[in-house]
Amino acid sequence: MSKINKLISSNCGVIRPDSVEDYVKAGGYEGLKKAFTMTPEEIISEVKKAKLLGRGGAAYPAGSKWEQLLAIPEFPKYIVINADEGEPGTFKDKLLLSQDPLRVIEGMTISGHVFSSHDGYIYIRGEYRAIQKVFQSAIDNAVKAGYLGTNIMGTDFEFNIHIMTGAGAYVCGENSALLNSIEGKAGRPRIKPPHLAEVGLFLMPTLVNNVESIANIPTIVLDGGDKYLSYGTKDSGGTKLICLSGNAVNRGVYEIPFGVSLRDAIYDPEMGGGVPNGKKLKFFHLGGQSGPIGAEAQLDTMYCYKALRNAGLSVGSGAIVVMDEDVCVIDYLKGVTEFFIHESCGKCTPCREGNKQIYAILCKLSEGEATKEDMAVLKRMIDTMTNTSFCGLGQSAAVALNTCWKLFKAEFEDHLHKKCPAQVCFTEQERGE
Amino acid sequence: MCSKVTKDQALEIIGKYEKVLAIINKYGKAKEQLLSILLDIQCASGENYVAEEWAEVVACQLDLPISKVHDVLTFYAMFNIKPHGKYVIEICKSTPCHVTKADAVVKMFEEVLGIKLGETTPDNLFTLMHTSCVGACDIGPVAKIGDEVYGNLTAAKVAEVVTSYRGVSSCQK
């Protein structure tokens, strides 16, 4: 039996992305139609029953987030969708944005109805400029067809969607940094509290959801929270878009029900299809650069929030980057750390300086110049950054290093003695070849 | 004393000024549209950068202190404050591309273009740079030129891509 369950990606590659006609024929806008017969409380109750956990990476219960915003009396309230998707190894939102934008638009419109909002903003990363045009075309067509703008579906509800562009900054995936960026400022995170539900975009109450999260809303409203929950596990309902990349035979986006194993995701012929060229799997990186690294012994872990967390892993953004035996752990971590040096906003010292110090020691390791004292500094850096950085970026920047440290201690030791098992570091002469 | 600016140069400056004003007006001079305005100005510059004088025009038109415009220009990776080639070739260096041999792709482009990473070809047509993830990890290693992303790159494909940009006249935006 197929382990893939196309619940929210069923239209992708099947309909014309910006065609309202195609979308409606495929069952689109039935969720919004039903939503208009429900009260905000009833809709939120279904989202809570569905146990939809935020798909951007933080896994915060969407129903609770919606409930908190509904209780705030101030208006206007804004709907903001985070389409910044800057996590290397993550390209699942791109699938929905480019191939089924109307599902995202319908989800936004339902949330607009719930919070009596008139304006929704979708912040699409600058690297997706081509997709922004497709999305704008879908918005324009939805307005023309009466599903957006004024008097939506014959009601007196008015809702408009505005596309805002990013310009290349990973930290803008952090919700408060994203709001600053929408306001035309540099995307540095804000101090919290106050929380964004109270003081968000233009200092007004704001809902910030991920693209995949909001794309689930029409299905939850239409089918009901209980049915949606049945697709997943008892703790997290529905399906998850996973993205396979790196040394995997079939790289791409797959929609899976929570509960299949990591081995299925990486090796099933319908999904990853294993490691190419007969190579062995060495490790895999889950949930993006800020996520943990796992090894072969963890392959039978169930892909769901709870089981992964218990195994020291996480779902994060849904990224699964596969690495074969030719990849050096130290060299890989250098790449991860270089990324964080580049993407740190520079606001807080632990993140701004810590990543640079970690990188310097990793370079020493790959050059055979590191000492045991350096290893102690590395350990201290991991603790300091994790506990004292200002935002999630800095707090999670050393997660990959920390998990590698535990899984591949011998490889760190080898590098102290000028040995690189993957034959990536040092010259042939230094390796004694 | 006579100005050193010729009539043709003056007309060129006026032309550029009008182009920048048109971009700002298209966005209704809205402060929250600063990123879009600057990205459009950069694309229209022909040299893939936002010159200081245009940053000042934007600040003035949007009623922002120039420091705020500089803050944005230097914060986001997609902005350049120095001239670049007409086409900026950006090679993804994030780990999913790295493990699928992005380093080899850098060398392929260096060979075809005759320049090193970070440099611009003498005819100002191409600049070769690294970039963070462009969200195309399923087709790594990848290079991005303008809005276009080229994946599964091989030496033959790199040569083909470069040839396709030679002789193309307009900004691909």
CATH of the domain at A290: 3.10.20.600
What is the rounded (10 degree) CA torsion for B6, B12, B13, B17? Answer: 160
Tell me the whole-structure pTM to 2 decimals.
0.95
ipTM more than 0.90? yes
Q: Are residues A79 and A147 in the same domain?
A: yes
CA distance B26 to B18: 12
At residue A156, the pLDDT reads: 96
pLDDT above 60 (res B1):
no
- H-type alpha helices, chain B: 7-26, 34-44, 52-61, 66-75, 95-98, 102-113, 155-165
CB contact under 8 A, B72 and A186: yes
At residue B114, the pLDDT reads: 97
Which of chain B's residues have a Cβ under 8 Å away from the Cβ of A248?
A: none
Element (H, E) at A202: none
Q: Are residues A35 and A183 in the same domain?
A: yes
CB contact under 8 A, B32 and A87: no
Output the known binding site of B for [2Fe-2S] cluster: 92, 97, 133, 137
The alpha carbon of residue A88 is apart from the nearest alpha carbon of chain B, in Å, by 5
Domain end (from B52, B75, B98): B75
CB contact under 8 A, A167 and B38: yes
Element (H, E) at A7: none
Q: Which two tokens stand for residue A228?
A: 């949606």
> Which of B93, B95, B132 should we substitute to test contact with A (largest number of A Cβ atoms within 10 Å)?
B95
Domain assignment of residue B170, yes or no: no
Q: Are residues A76 and A187 in the same domain?
A: yes
Q: Are residues B71 and B136 in the same domain?
A: no
Domain assignment of residue A8, yes or no: no
Top pLDDT among B1 and B8 is at B8
Q: Are residues A210 and A174 in the same domain?
A: yes
Domain end (from A258, A290, A324): A324
CA distance A12 to A15: 7
CA distance A188 to A163: 20
At residue B173, the pLDDT reads: 41
Write out the residue range of the structural domain in which residue A384 sits: 329-416
Structural domains of chain B, count: 2
Domain assignment of residue A371, yes or no: yes
Q: Are residues A155 and A86 in the same domain?
A: yes
pLDDT 10s digits, B78-90: 999 999 999 999 9
Q: Are residues B64 and B41 in the same domain?
A: yes
The alpha carbon of residue B50 is apart from the nearest alpha carbon of chain A, in Å, by 13
CB contact under 8 A, B137 and A243: yes
> Which of B43, B94, B103, B129 should we substitute to test contact with A (largest number of A Cβ atoms within 10 Å)?
B94
Domain end (from B53, B75, B97): B75
Q: Which two tokens stand for residue B81?
A: 């404050």
Q: Are residues A221 and A348 in the same domain?
A: no
pLDDT 10s digits, A300-356: 999 999 999 999 999 999 999 999 999 999 999 999 999 999 999 999 999 999 999
Q: Name every residue whose Cβ is closer than 8 Å to that of residue A16 and which is 6 or more positions away in sequence.
A: A22
At residue A162, the pLDDT reads: 98
Q: Which two tokens stand for residue B40?
A: 């459009």
CB contact under 8 A, A164 and B77: no
Structural domains of chain A, count: 3
- pLDDT-based confidence at residue B2 (cuts at 50, 70, 90): low
Which segments in chain A show pLDDT lower than 70?
Answer: 1, 428-429, 431-433
Domain assignment of residue B20, yes or no: yes
pLDDT above 50 (res B98):
yes
Q: Are residues A174 and A264 in the same domain?
A: no
Burial of B37 (0-12, 13-18, 19+ CB in 10 A): buried
Q: Please name the residue of chain B whose CA is at the shortest distance from the CA of residue A284.
A: B96
Write out the residue range of the structural domain in which residue B62 sits: 7-75
At residue A3, the pLDDT reads: 87
At residue B170, the pLDDT reads: 45
pLDDT above 70 (res B110):
yes
Mean pLDDT rounded to a whole number for chain A? 96
Q: Please name the residue of chain B whose CA is at the shortest distance from the CA of residue A321.
A: B96
CATH of the domain at B140: 3.40.30.10
CB contact under 8 A, A168 and B78: yes
